[in-house]
Amino acid sequence: MKKRTAVIFLALCLALGGTAAVGAVDVPTSTVQDFILMGSVLSFETNGGEAVADVAALAGEKVDLTAVVPVKEGCTFAGWYADAALTEAVTEINVYGHKTVYAAWTEASAPISDIENAKYAEDIKDVVGKSLMTVDEDGKFAPGTELTRADAVKVIWKIAGSPVVDFAMDFTDVAEDADYAEAVRWAESEKIVSGVAEGTFAPDETVTREQVAAMIYRYVQTEGGGFTGEWYFPLTYDDIADIDEWADEGMHWVTMNTLFEATDNNIAPDAAVTKGDAAHAFAVLAQLKFENNAAKEIPDDTDDDVEETTGTTETTEETAETAEETTEATEETTEDTAETKAE
C-alpha cells in the first residue's frame, strides 16, 4: 500500500512539474510497471551503445532528451530520433503508451580518410554516421566505386527501418546467410524489386541510375509518397529518350526531389551509380517527408511488378502525364486551359 501511494504521489509531482527531466527521478523497475497501468513509458534504443533505463511518465507528458547522452565505444553520440530509420531528430517528446526513441552515432575513432575533395563529402559523412553506408577498415569510403544492386537495396532497407518479413524469396542467387538477404527479401515482398530475370536478382551487378530511381520511387510509394493522379514534371535533358518506360516516373521523381543531378544537360539513366552519388541520393531520401507527396494510385488491373532493369521479366507500367497551360488574363477575364498527355 505504501509503495502504491508513493507511486501515485510521484505521478502527481510529475503532472504538476510539466516536463520530466530524464534521470531526475530514479524509478525502480516495479514502479515502471505500475506506471504502465496508469501512464506511459519511454524506452531508449541505443543502437549498440550502453543501455539507458526506461523512463516512466504520465500519458502525454513531455520528456526532455537533451540530458540523456549514451556512450558507444569509438563513436560520438549524434542525437535521438523518433524513428528507427533516423530521419526525424527530436530533443523532447510527448509520451503516450510505450514510446521508443533511437540513438544515432558518428564514427569518432575512424574518420573518413578519402573524401576531402569529394563532391558530396557532407552527404557521405551523413550516411556513414547513420550507419546507412560504411567505410572499410582503413577508414576509406571510396566515393568513386560503383554501387551494386545488393548495396542499393540494403541501404533502402535500412532507411525503411530494417524490417523483417515472412516471405519466401524467388531468387536462387541470393544466399539465405548473405548480409543483404533480409533486405532483398523485404524489397521483393514490397515489389520494390523483381529481378533481372526469372529467379535471378544479380546482387553483384552494378546498379544503374534508372534502376536506383525505380527502387527508390517504389519504396517512396510504400511510404505514402510519390505522384498522385494526373501529373506532369517535364524533363528537358538531351538524353531523356534513353529512360526506359518502367523507370520514367521514378526518374522524374528523383530528379524533382534533387536526388540525382545532371551533367552537361544529361541525366545518364544507364550510367553506373557511384558510392558518392548514392550517398547524396540516400541522404536526401532519408530526410524527405513522404506525407508531403501523396502516393500515386495504381489501378487494380495494372501489373506493378515492374523490374528496375532491362531483364526479360520486365512489365511496362503506363504512366499518365498532365500538362497545364495557362493563358494570360485579359483586362476582365482569365481563361485556363489544360492539356492531358497519356503514355
Whole-number Cα distances in Å, 20 to 33, 55, 114, 212 = 18, 9, 44, 44
Per the structure block, which three cell numbers stand in for 148?
551494386
Q: Are residues 281 and 170 in the same domain?
A: yes
Cα distance between residue 262 and residue 264, in whole Å? 7
Q: Are residues 182 and 44 in the same domain?
A: no
Residue 234 in any domain: the answer is: yes
Task: Assess whether 91 and 226 both reside in one domain.
Answer: no
Q: Does residue 333 fall inside a structural domain?
A: no
Q: Is residue 113 part of a domain?
A: no
How far is the C-alpha of 196 from the C-alpha of 306, rounded, in Å?
Answer: 10
Distance between CA atoms of residues 198 and 207, nearest Å: 18
Helices (H), 77-208: 121-129, 149-159, 181-189
What number of residues does the chain have?
Answer: 343
- What does the alpha-carbon distance between residue 142 and residue 124 come to, in Å, rounded to a whole number? 10
Residue 152 lies in a domain: yes
Distance of CA 299 to the CA centre of its chain: 25
Closest CA to 245 of 308, 165, 175: 308
Residue where a domain terminates, one of 54, 74, 107: 107
Q: Do 88 and 126 lie in a common domain?
A: no
| Same-domain status, 230 and 295 | yes
> In a 3-state reduction of DSSP, which class is residue 121?
helix
Per-block average pLDDT, block size 10, for the chain (343 residues)? 41 42 40 56 94 90 90 86 92 92 79 90 92 90 97 96 94 96 97 95 98 97 86 87 95 94 96 97 84 38 42 38 39 37 32
| Residue 338 is assigned to a structural domain of this protein | no
* Position 13 in a domain: yes
Closest CA to 25 of 55, 68, 60: 55
**Boundary of a domain, candidates 54, 81, 107:** 107
3-state secondary structure of 323: strand
Residues 47, 101: one domain?
A: yes
**Co-location of 259 and 315 in the same domain:** yes
Q: Are residues 30 and 54 in the same domain?
A: yes
C-alpha span between 53 and 45 (Å, rounded): 10
CATH number of the domain to which 14 belongs = 2.60.40.4270
Q: How many folded domains does the chain comprise?
A: 2
Claim to verify: residue 166 and residue 284 sit in the same structural domain? yes
| Inside any domain, residue 336 | no
Q: At a CB cut-off of 8 Å and minimum separation 6, what does 269 contact?
A: 208, 209, 210, 213, 239, 242, 243, 244, 247, 251
Q: What is the DSSP string of 162-195?
A: ----------TTS-TTSTTHHHHHHHHHTTS---
Residue 31 and residue 136 share a domain: no
Strand pairing report for 19-21 and 320-326? unpaired
Cell readout for 129 is: 554516421
Its domain, for residue 149, covers: 121-321
Is the residue at 332 inside a domain?
A: no
Asked whether 46 and 22 are in contact (CB, 8 A), the reply is no
Q: What is the pLDDT of residue 107?
A: 67
Pairing of strands 92-95, 98-107: unpaired
306: Cβ–Cβ under 8 A, 6 or more apart, which residues? 194, 214, 246, 314, 315, 316, 317
